[in-house]
């Protein structure tokens, strides 16, 4: 039977890592894998995480099962940061469960949506590639619409048209902030309009908040999802701590549900628990427990927020430098200065991406997507000059 399986293509980014590692040039630049890097190229463990891990090591007295909902102390500790400190449960209408990373949260959201009757998800493209892969694996159709214009801003006309043509059984997938892969976010005014459009059409929002705090700030980056949730009767929210706690390999995420009342929330989460039980039984505990400890200690919370501020400031410094480069070759870098988060797309074709790699030692995805955190004040001029060279 196993002979019936066909060879699948290797992950393009993993292949890029191998090529980069094999390149002997000392001035090579890795802009592929989406992890934060310091100005020296390191991806450090947060000091707040180290302190909480030590505390967990000293105090944890059992490794017994937690159940498919995971560490509910973690789930609830995160909620004021996501939904606002004043009323994080929206009067009992929001609750959640732990998931293995943002990927697990997105998968659970899509599976729940399908179980509830959703047959199609509207989604701006390009998007994080795993969104479409998850939907295909779960068996939900993706109907794409254009996310951004050539001017480097959100394509609101395409979004309006997509929502206007939506059917009653559709959902819409939206990035809460720091759009992956474009870095192009909706403005607050655009979120205000989007919330009204979704409410008027009555479709289900699936909101993916994977980078809170890496754009404009923790509060600012939550504006969009809070605005939508204030208008709609129900929604699914996938959350990741992998980026804003630097917890990539330990897979820390949560799925939150907004429903019309607490009883409805419990019904949805009972289905979530059933789906989780069949998929991963229960999420890994370590990372969620560490985040819970950080958020339950004022000193550790302050340390974490300060470390997050440092990350955001460095990426915004890189973006300001890019934006200030203006037009280089055929590429206008100005929009990069107003985009958010780890990612942006440089408008290069396949031959130009190859030339960046072979001629200049700059490694990036074939789509032109770059991880801006791979740029430093020491290599950014080389990168800009390389783009100018291959697009001249």
Catalytic residues: 128, 208, 243
Q: How far apart are CA 117 and CA 131, in angstroms?
A: 18
Using CA atoms, how far apart are residues 44 and 380, in angstroms rounded to an integer? 21
Which of 388, 339, 124 has its CA nearest to residue 211?
Answer: 339
Whole-angstrom Cα Rg for the chain: 21
| Closest to 255 (Cα-Cα) out of 242, 267, 273, 277 | 273
**What SS3 string covers the chain?**
CHHHCCCCCCCHHHHHHHHHHHCCCCCCEECCCCCCCCCCCCCCCCHHHHHHHHHHHHHCCCCCCCCCCCCHHHHHHHHHHHHCCCCCCCCCCEEEEEEEHHHHHHHHHHHHHHHHCCCEEEEEECCCHHHHHHHHHHCCEEEEEECECCCCCECHHHHHHHHHCCCCCEEEEEECCCCCCCCCCCCHHHHHHHHHHHHHHCCEEEEEECCCCCCCCHHHHCHHHHHHHCCCCCEEEEEECCCCCCCHHHCEEEEEEECCCHHHHHHHHHHHHHHHHHHCCCCCCHHHHHHHHHHCCHHHHHHHHHHHHHHHHHHHHHHHHHHHCCEECCEECHHHHHCCCCEEECCCCHHHHHHHHHHHCEECCCCCEEEHHHCCCCCHHHHHHHHHHHHC
Q: Give bridge partners of residue 331 from the DSSP assignment.
A: 328
């Amino acid at each position: 039977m196993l002979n019936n399986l066909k060879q699948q293509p290797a992950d393009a980014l993993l292949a890029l890592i191998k090529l980069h590692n094999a390149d002997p040039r000392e001035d090579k630049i890795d802009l592929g894998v989406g992890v934060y890097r310091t100005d020296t190229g390191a991806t450090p463990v947060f000091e707040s995480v180290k302190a909480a891990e030590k505390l967990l090591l000293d105090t944890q007295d059992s490794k017994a099962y937690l159940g498919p909902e995971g560490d509910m102390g973690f789930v609830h500790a995160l909620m004021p940061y996501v939904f606002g400190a004043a009323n994080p449960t929206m009067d009992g209408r929001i609750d959640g469960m732990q998931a293995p990373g943002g990927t697990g949260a997105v998968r659970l959201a899509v599976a729940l949506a399908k179980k509830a009757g959703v047959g199609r998800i509207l989604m701006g493209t390009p998007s994080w590639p795993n969104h479409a892969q998850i939907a295909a694996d779960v068996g939900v159709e993706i109907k794409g619409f254009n996310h951004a214009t050539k001017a480097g801003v959100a394509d609101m006309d395409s979004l309006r048209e997509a929502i206007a043509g939506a059917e009653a059984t559709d959902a819409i997938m939206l990035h809460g902030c720091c759009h992956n892969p474009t870095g192009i976010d909706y403005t607050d005014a655009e979120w205000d309009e989007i919330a009204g459009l979704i409410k008027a059409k009555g479709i289900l929002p699936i909101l993916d908040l994977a980078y809170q705090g890496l754009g404009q700030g923790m509060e600012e980056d939550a504006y969009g999802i809070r605005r939508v949730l204030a208008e709609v009767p129900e929604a699914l929210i996938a959350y990741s701590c992998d980026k804003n706690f630097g917890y990539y390999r330990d897979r820390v995420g949560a799925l939150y549900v907004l429903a019309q009342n607490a009883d409805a929330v419990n019904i949805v989460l009972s289905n979530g628990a059933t789906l989780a039980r069949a998929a991963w039984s229960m999420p890994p505990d370590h990372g969620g427990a560490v985040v819970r400890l950080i958020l339950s200690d004022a000193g550790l919370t302050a340390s974490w927020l300060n470390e997050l501020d440092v990350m955001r400031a460095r990426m915004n410094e890189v973006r300001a430098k890019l934006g200030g480069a203006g037009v280089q070759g055929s590429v206008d870098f100005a929009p990069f200065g107003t985009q958010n988060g780890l990612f942006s797309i440089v408008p290069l074709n396949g031959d130009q991406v190859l030339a960046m790699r072979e001629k200049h030692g700059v490694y990036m995805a074939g789509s032109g997507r770059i991880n801006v955190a791979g740029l430093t004040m020491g290599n950014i001029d080389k990168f800009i000059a390389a783009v100018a060279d291959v697009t001249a």
